[in-house]
Structure 1
Amino acid sequence: MPLPRDFRLFWGSDAANQFGTAVYTFVLPVVAIEALGASAFQVGLLTAASTAAFLLVGLPVGVYVDRARKRPVLVRSTVGRAVVLATVPVAAWLGDLTYVHLLLAALVAGVLTVFFEVASQAYLPTLVDRDGLAPANGRLVSTQQVARLSGRPLSGPLVQLLGSANAVLAITASFVASALLLSGMRAPERAVEPRERALWADMAEGLRFVFRHPLLRPVVLCTTSFNLTNAMWGAVTVLFLLRDLALSTTAAAALLGVGSAGGVLAGLLAGRLARFGQVRLVWLSMLVTQPTWVLVPLAEPGWRVVLFAVGTLVTSAGVVVYNISQVSLRQALCPERLQGRMNASVRFLSWGAMPVGGVAGGALAEWVGVRATLWVASAGMILSVLWVVLSPLRSMRDVPVITSVDRHG
């Protein structure tokens, strides 16, 4: 069945957005390390700043998104990130680039990312019907992985060709392209009914819906604990590749891209895997793949670098199948009027854990070393799977047809 024109534009916009994000989240730590001589803790703090906004403003953004038209929010947040990131090379040209500037740029870009991500997931159910959510999410996640697969390996040559600070300017073009595609969408959005409830009451309603729902609660707990320890892992990964494995920037970027390749493959196979059951895939995808995280800390210079590649390839595949399944489940179970707040509540918890993990990873690396930190993070990601394995999801195959909103909050 042909995809609606507006969904195709939305899909292309998201791909350009994800490409830009994949590049700048790799390049900013490289700027900190190479241009500013940042320590492990400072790199961890910078990583945390990129996601801290979900913890700081995630819930009120969800209320705002439910009270606003979604497409203008997507356009403005995308253009805003292009402007904010462009200040980094400008400051470098003027000789005024500091670590504080880099930290603030990552934080502000993170705030705008909150608006984009929450509005994006709330907007999708208006573009496709309920039965089309899983295929649509499959296409989006597959494209996101392709963007990361191409973005991360290109980051290294881009840094070597232009310099780390100038590379940040080059990637703003992807955000501009994303905004232009969104602006080309024609279908009018349904008018949003005015709401006079207090901000805190609306935020609480979203949290109650998530925590009182017996199917959403274990998903959120799994995702939150996974993201916490994955952020610990991410905070020291660039240091591990550049210093412990003695790789060049280009080789490090390419190796990170291998992990994304697993996600691309999983996204392409997601439709066929759906025959196992959309709900069943939520826990099965994680149980089968996540134990291979133990291979990553075993990597060494030389041929054992392949252990890093295999570990990230397999785990990335599992995470993509999990994300397609759990996001589709959340969107199918939630009424339209709560989509923004439900998604914001989930992101507040699951992505809000990431800055905590980023800071913890950097601090732990200063104390026990980078490789030991990777062992701790790997154990945490593996154990997070227990939330969904030991939940009611394990006895279900597909998404329930009807869910009572009142019963679950």
Structure 2
Amino acid sequence: MIRRMADGSSGDNGGLLRQRDFRHLWAADLISQLGTRVSYLAVPLLAVSTLNASAFEVSLLRAFQTVAYLLIGLQVGAWCDRIRCRPVLVVADLGRAVALGSVPLAAALGVLGIGQLYVVVFVVGVLTVFFDVAHQTYLPRLVERARLIEGNARLQGNASVAAVAAPTLAGYLVQWFTGAGGVLADAASYLWSALWLRSIHRPEQAPPREGSTRMREEIRAGLRLVSGDPILRAIAGSTATFCLAQAIYTAIIVVFLVRVVHLSPAAIGLLNTVGLTGALVAAFATRPLAALLGQARLLWLTVLVAAAGFVLVPLTGPGARLAFFAVGGFVTSFGIIACNIVEVSFQQARCPAHLLGRLNATVKFLMWGTISLGSVLGGVLAGLVGLRSTLWIAAMIVGLSTLWLVLSPLRRMRDLPTATPTPHADQAPAT
């Protein structure tokens, strides 16, 4: 079924972009992704270059940004199954714009400190939980399920374009205007996103109420859906393990490039742009690769590819050894984006509509929960064994993440099944 979806719209010139409402969702996502990616590099550079933060203090920024998934992630999934998602998206964008806008204001007044950055990234993280869960839940309400592969590929294409364009832009913004300028660009991007989302015309029907089911029972339904299906369980386990390693890497990579490789902000941005072109290639190559190889095969192969890229990064050094970072980044970003497109489309197609918010939240709870842990762990390991050794540890953990998939039923499949795995997953447990 997914194979037919992957091929089904290939002959449609422009595809979903010919549909006005999806085009507005796509436009909102494009600029928002670009701004987020600018801030992704600008905030740690601001902490390192302007506030002279340590590796551990920088790692805490990532932890504060992602810990909200541990606190409210599962509850948000249940809420998104009860309500219309588009208003959630608009309010989350406006809130993030206000929070991030406080950073350049404080910098201009000369009162910016690391404490304020922690508060801002935490608030943005809370609002991002609502946005991300609602966004993945909203797409199947906007487009036909037969076009989810195409829709997710278009949106992942935005992420890929942003991944390629934003690092260089962020590097020069930080070098010319300090990190506060990059954060201001991100705040403006969220305002842009909110305006485009508000302009979508198609009415979104409120989901039917599930009677008097309690929040705890609804959350447990989402957990049972993931834990009770061997394919969803393997995907969730692999994603969580991979994200643990990626968080260790992300928490220290800017510090590593500044203090070990001795690169300027502009050089760091340019180097990231070169490496992340793999994400752009994956956005266009995933659909034909899924048709050629099968979604199940492509899923575990892309994780192996990403793991291979991680092994190259610790070899990075000055001069010609910068090529290890560029090639490793290309391979890793290709594997991550291709894997994301297949995973998200499979989850959206396989999950009953009334459980989709809870499925998304459960997966993101596992994913971002391990990111919070990995962010702190990255800072601790950097202090104990050094920055380069910490990157080697992250690469080894990525390798372990592949075992979830290659030891699961996916290894014997070509295509992914889409039939609902647990017909009664939405029922409350017996008491």
TM-score tier (shorter):
over 0.9
Structure 1 pair 407–388 and aligned structure 2 pair: CA distance change class (3 A): farther
Q: Report the residue type matching 2:370 in the other structure.
A: A
Q: Work out which of the residue numbers 336, 353, 356 in structure 1 matches 2:353.
A: 336
Deviates more, 1:239-248 or 1:219-228: 239-248
- Name the CA distance, whole Å, in 2 between partners of 1:52 and 1:226: 17
Give the match for residue 307 of structure 2: 290
Deviates more, 1:346-355 or 1:90-99: 90-99
1:23–1:151: 8 Å Cα contact kept in structure 2?
yes
Q: Secondary structure at the match of 1:398?
A: coil
Q: Report the residue type matching 2:120 in the other structure.
A: A
In the alignment, does 2:297 pair up with 1:313?
A: no
Structure 1 pair 336–304 and aligned structure 2 pair: CA distance change class (3 A): same
Normalized against structure 1, the TM-score is what? 0.97
Q: Work out which of the residue numbers 262, 266, 272 in structure 1 matches 2:282.
A: 266
Give the match for residue 378 of structure 2: 361
1:88–1:97: 8 Å Cα contact kept in structure 2?
yes
Q: Work out which of the residue numbers 382, 398, 403 in structure 1 matches 2:420.
A: 403
- Name the CA distance, whole Å, in 2 between partners of 1:400 and 1:183: 35
Q: Over the residues paired in the alignment, what is the CA RMSD in angstroms?
A: 1.4
2:95–2:127: 8 Å Cα contact kept in structure 1?
yes
Deviates more, 1:281-290 or 1:28-37: 281-290
Q: Report the residue type matching 1:340 in the other structure.
A: G
Deviates more, 1:54-63 or 1:282-291: 282-291
In the alignment, does 2:219 pair up with 1:219?
A: no
Give the match for residue 38 of structure 2: 23
Give the match for residue 394 of structure 1: 411
What is the CA-CA distance between 1:407 and the residue it aligns to?
5.9
Give the match for residue 373 of structure 1: 390
Deviates more, 1:246-255 or 1:168-177: 168-177
Q: Secondary structure at the match of 1:351?
A: helix
In the alignment, does 2:223 pair up with 1:207?
A: yes
Structure 1 pair 5–370 and aligned structure 2 pair: CA distance change class (3 A): same
- Name the CA distance, whole Å, in 2 between partners of 1:234 and 1:57: 23
- Name the CA distance, whole Å, in 2 between partners of 1:300 and 1:323: 30
What is the CA-CA distance between 1:131 and the residue it aligns to?
2.1
Segments ≥4 residues shifted beyond 4 Å = none
Q: Work out which of the residue numbers 89, 93, 107 in structure 1 matches 2:122.
A: 107
Q: Secondary structure at the match of 1:271?
A: helix
Normalized against structure 2, the TM-score is what? 0.92
2:222–2:425: 8 Å Cα contact kept in structure 1?
no
Give the match for residue 137 of structure 2: 122
What is the CA-CA distance between 1:145 and the residue it aligns to?
1.0
What is the CA-CA distance between 1:254 and the residue it aligns to?
1.3
- Name the CA distance, whole Å, in 2 between partners of 1:271 and 1:320: 12
Point out where structure 2 has 5 or more consecutive residues left out of the alignment. 1-11, 427-431
CA displacement, residues 279-333 of structure 1 (integer Å, 9 cap, x when unaligned): 2211122224422321111111111011111111111101111111111111111
Q: Work out which of the residue numbers 317, 326, 342 in structure 2 matches 1:300.
A: 317
Point out where structure 1 has 5 or more consecutive residues left out of the alignment. none
Matches within 5 A, 1:126-137: 126-137=141-152
Q: Secondary structure at the match of 1:279?
A: helix
Aligned residues: 409
Give the match for residue 110 of structure 2: 95
1:141–1:324: 8 Å Cα contact kept in structure 2?
yes
In the alignment, does 2:35 pair up with 1:10?
A: no
